[in-house]
Every structure is written in C-alpha cells, then in structure tokens.
Amino acid sequence: MIKTTLKIDGMMCGMCEAHINDVIRKVVPDAQKVKSSHTKGESTFISQQAPDENKIIAALAETGYTVQSVNTEPYTKKFLGLF
C-alpha cells in the first residue's frame, strides 16, 4: 500500500475539499481513505500502487486547483495491540 500526500493551492472551503476528493477517486479508482483539508492545503489517500502523478496534477488543474507537490511513501496499517 502507498500513502500519497498532495499539497494543493486553491482550496477555500469544505466544498473544495469534496470536489478534490471526487477528482482523486475518479483518477485513482483504487484510492481509499481520501481526505482533504483546506486549512492545511493538502489531500491524502491510500492506494495499492503508486498513482500516476501527472494524471492527478492534470485532472486537478482542469478544475482550477494547483498541485504544489506530490509525496508518496509506503503505508502500513496501524494495529492496536489487544492484550
């Protein structure tokens, strides 16, 4: 699993967050846990494979948002130890 963090310029409100989440889900069909924050100016999601950064950047640019950076890193689930 891969965790992707996008720094995005142009988000102003909760509707912007929802719009960006929809775009990410369309461009990355296996995206899970898609979350955006206009206050932080970032979106995060988890996918099986590293996403095509250029597709995401182009899709968000078409809707008026500017991707400033894309960071991908391995994702491991955090389990709560039950003893």
How many whole angstroms from its chain centre is CA 10? 14
Angle among Cα 37, 19, 31 to the nearest 5 degrees reads 75
> What is 2-74's CATH topology?
Alpha-Beta Plaits (3.30.70)
Mean pLDDT of 9-25: 95
- State the amino acid at position 45 in one-letter form: F
Sketch the domain layout of the chain as residue ranges. Answer: 2-74
pTM given for the model: 0.86
Q: Tokens for 28?
A: 């990355």
Q: What pLDDT band is residue 80 in, cutting at 50, 70 and 90?
A: low
Q: Give the pLDDT of residue 51.
A: 93
Residue whose structure tokens are 């095509």: 52
Residue 79, Cβ density class (10 Å: 0-12 exposed, 13-18 middle, ≥19 buried): exposed
pLDDT at residue 83 tops 80: no
User: Higher confidence at residue 46 or residue 80?
Assistant: 46
Percent of the chain with pLDDT over 70: 94
